[in-house]
């Protein structure tokens, strides 16, 4: 790989880290602009960290019936950036693992599934739940079902690659366990019809979203450092 290619790959990982930070910043601001209303209590004021889902920031109209333009735009930008960053990450990350047949196979499959997951996250941004509930729900489920598969494939690829630090493989595998647990929570956990069930689902989503961002940030940071060391 040429020096120019390694420099470009390093810039991609920097963009991925910026995308993770941007998601946190933009969604935090969007929470401040959300006018109010939860699934359990449409008359509630403001955004409740423990009773409002992330995707409610993207509603064109809040559950209280108020326009939600600012939050919806911020959510769209944040989610689109996160999904696009995931696609870029899995395109660039594969280049560390193409020197062996197993690495080539595992990274190829991992990137294919990871790119699909990133595209689904962009799909989540494009389908506000109050307008396209069915499509929105399918994109969410597909994204979180594909992501653990990509994490396991890359976790194994890293552990099989002598030149890549094993700790990043264990980060991916630990994250995959969290993702599987979250998918189980979505499919078989308590419903949102009760307040307790709603809080459990909302908190579970918050945990997995922030864990996703932290995992990709760690992996991108590590990949950038390794790419930089290859230039020296």
CA distance 64 to 44: 7
Cβ proximity of 87 and 132 under 8 Å: no
CA 168 to CA 22: how far, in whole Å?
23
DSSP H helices, the chain, are 3-33, 69-93, 101-126, 133-160, 166-188, 195-231
Distance CA(220)–CA(17), nearest Å, equals 6
Query: Environment class of residue 163 by beta-carbon count within 10 Å: exposed (0-12), middle (13-18) or buried (19+)?
Result: exposed
Backbone angles phi, psi at 46, to 5 degrees: 70, -175
The model's pTM is 0.91
In this prediction, residue 99 carries a pLDDT of 86
Helix axes 195-231, 3-33, angle to 10 degrees: 160
Task: Output the pLDDT for position 193.
Answer: 87
Show pLDDT as tens, one digit a residue, over the chain (232 residues).
455 556 677 789 999 999 999 999 999 999 999 998 998 889 899 999 999 999 999 999 998 889 999 999 999 999 999 999 999 999 999 999 988 999 999 999 999 999 999 999 999 999 999 999 999 999 999 999 999 999 999 999 999 999 899 999 999 999 999 999 999 999 999 988 889 999 999 999 999 999 999 999 999 999 999 988 765 5
Closest C-alpha to 6, from 133, 95, 121: 95
**C-alpha atoms less than 13 angstroms from C-alpha of 48 in its C-beta half-sphere:** 20
Beta carbons of 156 and 166 less than 8 angstroms apart: no
The whole-number pLDDT of residue 4 equals: 53
For 105, residues 6+ apart whose C-beta sits below 8 A from its C-beta are: none
pLDDT at 175: 96
pLDDT at 77 (0 to 100): 97
Instruction: Report the SS3 class of residue 77.
Output: helix
Give the 3-state secondary structure of residue 73. helix
Structure confidence at residue 10 (pLDDT)? 79
């Amino acid at each position: 790989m040429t020096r120019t290619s390694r420099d470009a790959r390093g810039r991609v990982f920097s963009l991925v880290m910026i995308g993770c930070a941007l998601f946190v910043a933009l969604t935090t601001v969007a929470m401040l602009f959300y006018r109010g209303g939860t699934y359990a209590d449409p008359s509630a004021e403001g955004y409740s960290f423990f009773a409002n889902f992330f995707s409610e920031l993207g509603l064109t109209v809040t559950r209280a019936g108020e326009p939600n333009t600012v939050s919806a735009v911020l959510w769209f930008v944040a989610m689109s950036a996160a999904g696009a960053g995931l696609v870029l990450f899995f395109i660039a990350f594969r280049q560390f693992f193409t020197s062996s047949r197993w690495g080539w196979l595992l990274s190829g499959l991992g990137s294919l599934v990871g790119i699909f997951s990133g595209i689904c996250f962009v799909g989540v941004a494009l389908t506000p739940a109050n307008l396209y509930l069915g499509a929105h729900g399918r994109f969410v489920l597909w994204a979180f079902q594909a992501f653990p598969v990509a994490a396991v494939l890359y976790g194994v690829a890293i552990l099989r690659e002598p030149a890549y630090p094993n700790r990043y493989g264990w980060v991916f595998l630990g994250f995959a366990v969290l993702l599987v647990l979250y998918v189980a929570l979505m499919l078989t956990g308590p419903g949102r019809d009760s307040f307790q069930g709603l809080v459990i689902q909302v908190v579970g989503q918050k945990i997995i979203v922030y864990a996703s961002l932290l995992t990709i940030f760690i992996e991108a940071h590590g990949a950038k450092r390794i790419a930089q060391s290859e230039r020296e």
